[in-house]
């Protein structure tokens, strides 16, 4: 996408949300500005938020990104929007160049399902896919995962319209040494917001079979620095929730030298998104629980050797920020 001297790049993000998507949006705006591109945030108001009360959430204030309340709709400007907000902005802006950043494939699919149900349209998916291919709209597609690229290929999006833009994790995880002079413990970290039911089944299995040397620790209510410190003390991070895109927590765990065990949902099944040996990935079925517990205990008993299996993944995550900067240069090119 060519950047002209007067080009303005608007990055659409929901207001008052502290999740992976808004984090990536603020990081993108920050990195674009470091490359002397006139970028700003545009908040997409959540239904329960007063428009007069919109402000940058505290964790994102460090980026010092400007906020735009008006999108100048002309062909030299660019609007970057997450896949979950594909509808409303398309109905107002007509001339601006558009880029869709695919951070979550599953959330897009779920949105189509809900819209089809509300409007009683069986062909809603076809309507969205036709628009995405570019009938009357100038779309560029930015992908955060192999999962997203395969999805767009299935939709029939031309490859020349698809570019990698793969987000990185907060510097608190990559700049803080994993070795914090504290011994690793036989602890399994998990995220209760996305992974509670299946982890409970694993806990129940351990209790019923007298396996009492596994400490299951939910990760909640912590600052990024506290999350990093918690990961640094644990041997295993288990993630049996949905993986709608390239999830942040497995990456945050691996740079803190956790062994990572996942299911095969969404992006987790792709080696390009979670590059770990297959023996650490399981279908999350009751039948596999004994094997999962055996895998956890093996990581406990043979941690020094098992953690070496994640060296490639750790290096991959450590390189994401520099790769992100290079991908920005490939996508947004200064016009001659």
Q: Does domain 2-167 have CATH number 3.30.360.10?
A: no
pLDDT tens-place string over residues 68-113: 988 999 999 999 988 877 655 555 677 899 899 999 887 776 656 5
Do the Cβ atoms of 86 and 34 come closer than 8 Å? no
CA Rg value for the chain? 21
pLDDT value at position 184?
A: 93
pLDDT tens-place string over residues 11-34: 998 877 778 888 999 999 999 999
pTM above 0.85, yes or no: yes
pLDDT at 187 over 70: yes
Q: How much is the average pLDDT of 199-227?
A: 93
Which of the two residues, 151 and 177, has the higher pLDDT score?
A: 151
Distance separating alpha carbons of residues 261 and 276, to the nearest angstrom: 9
User: Above pLDDT 90, what percent of the chain?
Assistant: 60
Distance separating alpha carbons of residues 81 and 131, to the nearest angstrom: 15
Reported as a pLDDT band with limits 50, 70 and 90, residue 47 is low
Question: In terms of DSSP bridges, do strands 215-218 and 185-190 run parallel, antiparallel, or are they unpaired?
Answer: parallel
CA end-to-end span of the chain, whole Å?
12
Do the Cβ atoms of 25 and 41 come closer than 8 Å? yes
Hey, where are the domains in the chain? 2-167, 172-318
pLDDT value at position 314?
A: 95
Do the Cβ atoms of 189 and 261 come closer than 8 Å? no
Reported as a pLDDT band with limits 50, 70 and 90, residue 158 is confident
Do the Cβ atoms of 77 and 93 come closer than 8 Å? no
Contacts of 12 by beta carbon, 8 Å cutoff, 6+ apart: 25, 42, 44, 79, 80, 81, 82, 85, 89
pLDDT value at position 17?
A: 73
Q: Does domain 172-318 have CATH number 3.40.50.2000?
A: yes
Reported as a pLDDT band with limits 50, 70 and 90, residue 136 is very low
pLDDT tens-place string over residues 282-322: 999 999 999 999 999 999 999 999 999 999 999 999 999 99
Mean of the per-residue pLDDT values of the chain: 86
């Amino acid at each position: 996408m060519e950047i002209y001297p007067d080009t303005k790049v608007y990055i659409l993000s929901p207001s008052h949300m502290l999740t992976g998507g808004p984090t990536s949006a603020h990081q993108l705006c920050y990195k674009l500005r470091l490359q002397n591109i006139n970028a700003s945030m545009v908040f997409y108001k959540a239904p329960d938020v007063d428009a007069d009360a919109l402000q940058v959430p505290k964790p994102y204030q460090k980026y010092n990104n400007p906020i735009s309340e008006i999108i100048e709709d002309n062909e030299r400007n660019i609007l970057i929007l997450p896949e979950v907000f594909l509808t409303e902005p398309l109905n107002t802006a007509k001339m601006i160049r558009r880029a869709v950043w695919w951070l979550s494939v599953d959330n897009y699919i779920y949105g189509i399902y809900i819209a089809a149900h509300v409007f009683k349209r069986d062909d809603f998916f076809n309507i969205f896919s036709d628009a995405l291919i570019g009938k009357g709209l100038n779309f560029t597609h930015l992908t955060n995962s192999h999962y997203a690229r395969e999805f767009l290929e299935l939709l029939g999006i031309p490859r020349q319209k698809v570019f990698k833009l793969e987000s990185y994790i907060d510097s608190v995880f990559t700049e803080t040494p994993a070795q914090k002079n504290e011994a690793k413990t036989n602890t399994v970290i998990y995220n209760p917001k996305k992974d509670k039911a299946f982890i409970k089944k694993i806990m129940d299995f351990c209790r019923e079979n007298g396996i009492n040397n596994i400490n299951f620790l939910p990760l909640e209510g912590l600052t990024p620095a506290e999350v990093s410190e918690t990961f640094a003390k644990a041997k295993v991070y288990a993630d049996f929730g949905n993986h709608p895109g390239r999830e942040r927590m497995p990456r945050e765990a691996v740079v803190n030298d956790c062994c990572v065990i996942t299911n095969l949902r969404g992006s987790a099944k792709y080696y390009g998104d979670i590059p770990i040996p297959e023996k650490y990935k399981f279908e999350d079925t009751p039948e596999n629980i004994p094997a999962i517990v055996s895998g956890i205990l093996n990581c406990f008993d043979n941690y020094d050797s098992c953690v070496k299996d994640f060296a490639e993944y750790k290096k991959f995550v450590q390189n994401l920020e520099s790769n992100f900067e290079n991908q920005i240069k490939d996508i947004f090119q200064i016009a001659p």
